[in-house]
Amino acid sequence: MGKTRKMRLVAFLKTGPTAHHHGMWRHPETDNDFLDPAWYEHVARVLEKGKFDCLFFADTLGLFDNYRGTFEAILRGGGQMGFLDPLPVLAVMSRVTQHIGLGATLSTTFHNPYQIARTLGTLDVLSKGRMAWNVVSSISNLEARNFGHDELPPRNTRYDRADEVMEACFKLWESWEPDALIVDKESGVFADPSKVHYVDYAGKWIRTRGPLTVPRSPQGHPVIMQAGASDRGRDFAARWSEMIFTLQHSKADMQAFYADIKRRIANVGRPPEDCAVLPSVDPLIGETESIAREKQAYINEMVPTEVALALVSTHIGVDLSNYPIDQPLQDIEIEQGARGSFEVILQGTKAHGLTLGDAVRRFATSELCPQIVGTPKSVADQLQDYFESQACDGFILTPTVFPGTWEQFARSVVPELQRRGLFRTDYTGRTLREHLHD
């Protein structure tokens, strides 16, 4: 008899005031000490106590300034931004934990593969095999300008380069065989040179000689995570990903994405179970259903319209300050190049006949991912339904109150999932990759 399939839980973090909910920092119970190492240490301990597979930091290499051509609205209103480089933050978190996975976002468009492989390889060694790499190719020209370019390359070019970066990083991580480091004082042999290799990788965009300076980590290389939504992005994820982070509006959307990704993974010759598909959801938990709904209404009122407009302007690449916020969403004409992204937002709101202002505020409460609202038991019911309906292999959970969302979820929902046999009661492996297959 095969082992029971277990749900995967990954925490979404930012080194700043918000995650997906752009009113989070304003909640009376949110702790905004995001410049204090102890803040990160505390949440790492909470998530590990809750037996989460992994935590990861989303990141953007700049401040969003699509709206009115300035970052004023985002900065003044506390919109989505990452202040600190997540890599040293993860090193801090690794020192107070033993099991939970630790994920960083790094762009293949702006970072050299040798530096990526060396930095992530170092953290993978120091954490004893718990690192994950959320691979992005970047989506914003503001990031390009911070790295000396006028604009991003076209999407397909970014992904073609990303494939080469991945190939080079894997060859670098494999340039040390697992038993190359000996450190035998008596024989005087420190390492076996025959087990350390040049890689001599040469592609269209990437060249690196190797070998890497970092010996092999306990899990060989970081777990690969990715969030591609386009057709090219999905092909990239099918080739490389072990975890896929996806934003979907409904159960039906999740099921369609799940089936498509699993098919693509099989088509490249990988077992579909080797990659966990994890849609983002936002849990809001109350002692009763009515209390949970009141909490939802309370926090959702905290999103400023200007911040919401700035956020959506960034997502679609169009300055929405030029459009009337009281106009019904379906009546707004967006330029053709951004229409696809705008339709994604429209998809999640068109049934409600919302104005532009209402729609962007709703987007800024969860980026139109489901808010899972209820008591611990009913939240577990909803997660179980998604999990058992071929919609996902688990969830990326995003907070609405920090760190209260994590404390409450770990204390009340995790035990309910454990009672149902859906989630681990303890870690059984040593590395993140082992967690994902326990």
Q: What is the pLDDT of residues 92-101, one digit of tens each?
A: 999 999 999 9
Decide if pLDDT at 70 tops 70.
Answer: yes
Torsion of CA 212, 213, 218, 223, to 10 degrees: -40
The per-residue pLDDT for 1 is 39
Distances (CA, A) of 375 to 289, 384, 391, 409, 436: 6, 14, 22, 10, 27
Amino acid letter, 294: E
In this prediction, residues 365-373 reach a mean pLDDT of: 91
Q: Which residue has the higher pLDDT, 362 or 164?
A: 164
Q: What is the pLDDT of residue 2?
A: 47
**Distance of CA 34 to CAs 104, 156, 213, 236, Å?**
17, 36, 33, 33
Q: 355: which strand partners?
A: 328
* Number of residues in the chain: 438
* The dihedral sign for the CA sequence 166, 172, 175, 177: negative
Residue 387 has pLDDT above 70, yes or no: yes
pLDDT confidence of residue 335: 63
Mean pLDDT in residue range 232-238: 93
Range list of H helices, 284-408: 289-300, 305-316, 336-347, 356-366, 376-387, 404-408
Task: Indicate if the pLDDT at residue 343 is higher than 90.
Answer: no
DSSP 428: -
Distance, in Å, from the CA atom of 339 to the CA atom of 350, rounded to the nearest integer, reads: 14
Residue carrying structure tokens 């454990």: 418
- Whether residue 60 has pLDDT greater than 90: no
At 336, the pLDDT band (50, 70, 90 cuts) reads low
Averaged pLDDT, 291-302: 96
CA atoms within 13 A on the CB side of 176: 22
Structure-model confidence comparison of residues 2 and 178, the more confident one: 178
